[in-house]
Amino acid sequence: MNDKFVYAPGPTSIRENVRLERARTTTNPDVDKDFIEFYKSTCDKIGKIIKTENPVYILSGEGILGLEAACASLTELGDRVLVLDNGIYGRGFKDFVEMYGGEGVYFSDDYNKAIDTNKLKGFLEKDHNFKYATIVHCDTPTGVLNDLSKICPILSEYGILTVVDSVSAMAGEDIKVDDWKIDIALGGSQKAFSAPAGLTMVSISEKAKVAMKNRKTPIIGFYCNLTIWENYYENKWFPYTMPISDIMGLSKAVDNILDEGVQEVLDRHEKIAGATREAIKEYGLELFLTDGYSNTVTAVKVPESIGALQLKEHMLKKYNTLIITSLKPYDNEILRIGHMGENAREDKIIYALNIINKGLKDLGFNSEENLVGLFNKYLAR
């Protein structure tokens, strides 16, 4: 199971020092005050990466927990919530809103480019009575990156709280939580942070906190109630036993990012993603998007005669390499190159592109070019 080369837009590859960190001796995270300090310092370091003074928490649960927790904590029966929809995750947010009694209203835009902020402005001029809005930073199945620096301030002007799913962007694409007025920013350990799956990171603004406090009805549930974290540090008490080894691993992954430099990490993603996109186009393939390319994942259209699913199976069988397609309805149309986190390294992307090059040619794709050669050409520019 563990000998194949896996290259996906999450879970991403994990550096050895992160894996080893999880094997270290642990303490009792409920009662050992040193752990509380360690937890808080890890949260503060994440705050540095996402550029916020807001409190940051690490929750025990994979990225989806954060999405559900934000909706559970903010939504009361009948609340209108604006759901920005230009991708599969964006559209799916409505399910969480409605699970907790809210009325989700879509603002829908094309799935092959970033949200058009002028269209959004026009929509809001007519209808802006929303408690909060959900926005996906990078919608992973298609790799579209939405411009939070424009979208969130526009919503904020109308007094609409902003809940951002940045699970597959955070640490690979810039996110300035405070400057961009993001009330709740959500991340996951297994994407660009390159730690194992299992943790959600969440930052909460004062305004979001007040909205949770001012509810007329109590928040349903416990795990998804974000207010249970509020005074953990002052009270030296966690709502439940923290998964200490997971957090030790994440902390090491965060140190890896800070040691390299946050901006340097973002630049590395930009360089590798840019060269990948150029190489793909010159090779004779098409990108799924027309603009709004995320530097964390590239969605490549696979010719119909081959099909993304067949290509995936072939690469797995013949080359023991798992490179994945998209979600339905794009599962047979799109191959996803997940160059995020530790996957955004020259050795790994070159290996992946080499297998894609071979796989496509095995299945009859015609190109005089070699994907790796093209990538190297564009990387050098």
Would you count residue 167 as binding ligand PLP (CB under 6 A)?
A: yes
Query: What is the distance between the alpha carbons of residues 253 and 255, in angstroms, rounded to a whole number?
Result: 5
Would you count residue 143 as binding ligand PLP (CB under 6 A)?
A: no
Q: In angstroms, give the least distance from the CB of 146 to ligand PLP.
A: 11
* CB neighbour list of residue 226: distance below 8 Å, 6 or more residues apart: 57, 69, 70, 72, 73, 184, 202, 204, 212, 219
Residue 215 assigned as binding residue: no
Would you count residue 68 as binding ligand PLP (CB under 6 A)?
A: no
Count of residues in the chain: 381
- Which of 29, 47, 55, 63 binds ligand PLP (CB under 6 A)? It is 63
**What tokens were used for 82?**
């604006």
Between residues 64 and 322, which has the closer beta carbon with respect to ligand PLP? 64
* CB neighbour list of residue 200: distance below 8 Å, 6 or more residues apart: 58, 59, 61, 62, 63, 64, 65, 66, 69, 186, 187, 188, 189
Return the range that interacts with ligand PLP (CB under 6 A); candidates 14-22, 77-85, 99-107, 164-172.
Answer: 164-172
Query: What is the distance between the alpha carbons of residues 139 and 242, in angstroms, rounded to a whole number?
Result: 29
Would you count residue 64 as binding ligand PLP (CB under 6 A)?
A: yes
- Which of 13, 146, 168, 194 binds ligand PLP (CB under 6 A)? It is 168
Q: In angstroms, give the least distance from the CB of 289 to ligand PLP.
A: 15
Query: What is the distance between the alpha carbons of residues 263 and 252, in angstroms, rounded to a whole number?
Result: 18
Q: Which helix (H) or strand (E) holds 357?
A: helix 346-362
Closest CA to 240 of 94, 65, 89: 65
Q: How far is CA 326 from CA 143, 210, 254, in A?
A: 10, 38, 28
Between residues 21 and 139, which has the closer beta carbon with respect to ligand PLP? 139
- Which of 6, 71, 124, 136 binds ligand PLP (CB under 6 A)? It is 136
- Which of 38, 49, 62, 219 binds ligand PLP (CB under 6 A)? It is 62
- Which of 21, 109, 165, 333 binds ligand PLP (CB under 6 A)? It is 165
What's the Rg (C-alpha) of the chain? 21
- Which of 35, 38, 39, 89 binds ligand PLP (CB under 6 A)? It is 89
Q: In angstroms, give the least distance from the CB of 164 to ligand PLP.
A: 10
Between residues 47 and 87, which has the closer beta carbon with respect to ligand PLP? 87
Query: What is the distance between the alpha carbons of residues 366 and 368, in angstroms, rounded to a whole number?
Result: 7
**What tokens were used for 275?**
């060269």
Q: In angstroms, give the least distance from the CB of 297 to ligand PLP.
A: 8
Q: Are 208 and 183 in contact (CB under 8 A)?
A: yes
- Which of 172, 188, 338, 341 binds ligand PLP (CB under 6 A)? It is 188
Would you count residue 140 as binding ligand PLP (CB under 6 A)?
A: yes
Q: In angstroms, give the least distance from the CB of 144 to ligand PLP.
A: 10
Q: In angstroms, give the least distance from the CB of 261 to ligand PLP.
A: 24
Could you tell me how many residues of this chain bind ligand PLP (CB under 6 A)? Answer: 13
Q: Are 185 and 6 in contact (CB under 8 A)?
A: no
Sign of CA pseudo-dihedral 96, 98, 103, 109:
positive
Q: In angstroms, give the least distance from the CB of 139 to ligand PLP.
A: 6
Would you count residue 97 as binding ligand PLP (CB under 6 A)?
A: no
Return the range that interacts with ligand PLP (CB under 6 A); candidates 60-68, 170-178, 201-209, 223-231.
Answer: 60-68
**What tokens were used for 365?**
């794709």
Residues belonging to the binding site are 336
List contacts with ligand PLP (CB under 6 A).
10, 62-64, 89, 136, 139-140, 165, 167-168, 188, 191
